[in-house]
Homo-oligomer: A and B are copies of this chain.
Amino acid sequence: MNKKPLILVTNDDGIFAPGLKKLIEIARRFGKVVVVAPESPMSGMSHAITVKIPLRLKKITEEKDYVEYSCNGTPVDSVKLGEKIVVRGKPDLVLSGINHGSNASVNIVYSGTMAAVMEANIDGIPAIGFSLLDYSHQADFDAVDGYIAEIIRNVLENGLPEGVCLNVNIPAVQKSEIKGIKVCRQAKGRWDESFDERTDPHNRDYYWLTGMFKNGDTAKDTDSWALANNYISVVPVHYDLTAHHAISNIKKWKMNVK
């Protein structure tokens, strides 16, 4: 690629997250960077879009080959605003993250980080989501700088298959302990959840969601296995949710509509 690529960067932890700062730093080595990120944390927002209130953009910084905005919307809104209002065209690449916490296994379904990536994918733009399995604000993102840069370089040089984006998860271990990268499939895990049930001072009940992740799928070709064994997991992702294998089964139904 001779021309400097234009890279749109977003996340779901919000404009002030250290993971975003690190991803911006890496992205700027590769090209011009436009940042549009939520003004406040948006974890668990999945593919939500804002339709009830108008969206707004706020310019934070502008310098050579770099411009940074916050918005009052979700990660998916951020991608839409980045494309249609800031870039007014298609960036060459969309990056999302670095998320503070895992988006492996079933977490991808709830993830705002990965929803931003899927939104770019729907629009035909190569896109990668990065997540580090460390929820803390002090997470050490420097250890994985080299891996993230190599994944970005590969996508810029090789592209991605049509309709495919990437979900990259990184174990929270020292750089020396990382064994490499595994291209794998999403593990069939789920959350074993409950609600913490409380009563407010006005004697009304309220509920906080709590839960533990249960990995019910320990096969060696899964992202959960890769991460548990100190590999970085790379799952190619698409937005065709069809369970193709189930079509023939359901076609056998007897329908009796008068």
* A residues apposed to B, CB below 8 Å: 43-51, 54-57, 76-77, 80-81, 84-85, 106, 108-110, 115, 118, 122-123, 146-147, 150-151, 154, 158, 160-161, 163-164, 166-167, 180-181, 183-186, 188, 190, 193-195, 197-198, 204-209, 234-247, 249-251, 253-258
- Contact status B190-A122, CB under 8 Å: yes
Q: Are B209 and A247 in contact (CB under 8 A)?
A: no
* New A-B pairs, 17, CB < 8 Å, besides A45-B48, A164-B243, A234-B250: A47-B47, A85-B197, A106-B122, A109-B122, A122-B190, A123-B190, A151-B255, A158-B253, A160-B250, A161-B245, A161-B246, A180-B255, A180-B257, A185-B247, A235-B241, A238-B246, A239-B241
Within 8 Å CB of A147, what residues of B? 255, 257
Pick from B81, B194, B207, B236: contact of A207, CB under 8 Å: B81
B150 touches A257 (CB 8 A): yes
Q: Do A208 and B44 have beta carbons less than 8 Å apart?
A: no
* Interface contact B109-A51, CB-CB below 8 Å: no
Residue from A234, A238, A243 having most chain B Cβ neighbours under 10 A: A243
The answer to whether B48 touches A249 (Cβ under 8 A) is no
The distance in angstroms between the C-alpha atoms of A106 and B51, with both chains bound, is 17
CA distance A180 to B205 in the complex (A): 46
Residue contact B255 to A181, C-beta cutoff 8 Å: yes
Decide if B240 touches A188 in the complex (CB within 8 Å): yes
Indicate how many identical chains form the complex: 2
* Contact indicator B239/A235 (Cβ below 8 Å): no
Are B85 and A244 neighbours in the complex by a CB distance under 8 Å?
no
Closest to A223 in B: B242
Alpha-carbon gap, A194 to B88, bound state (A): 10
| Shortest Cβ distance from residue A197 to the other chain B in the assembled complex, whole angstroms | 7
Residues of B within 8 Å of A161, CB to CB, are 243, 245-246, 249
Q: Are B106 and A239 in contact (CB under 8 A)?
A: yes
Complex Cα distance A51/B110, Å?
12
Of the residues B44, B49, B186, contact of A110 by C-beta under 8 Å: B49
Are B50 and A209 in contact, CB atoms less than 8 angstroms apart? yes
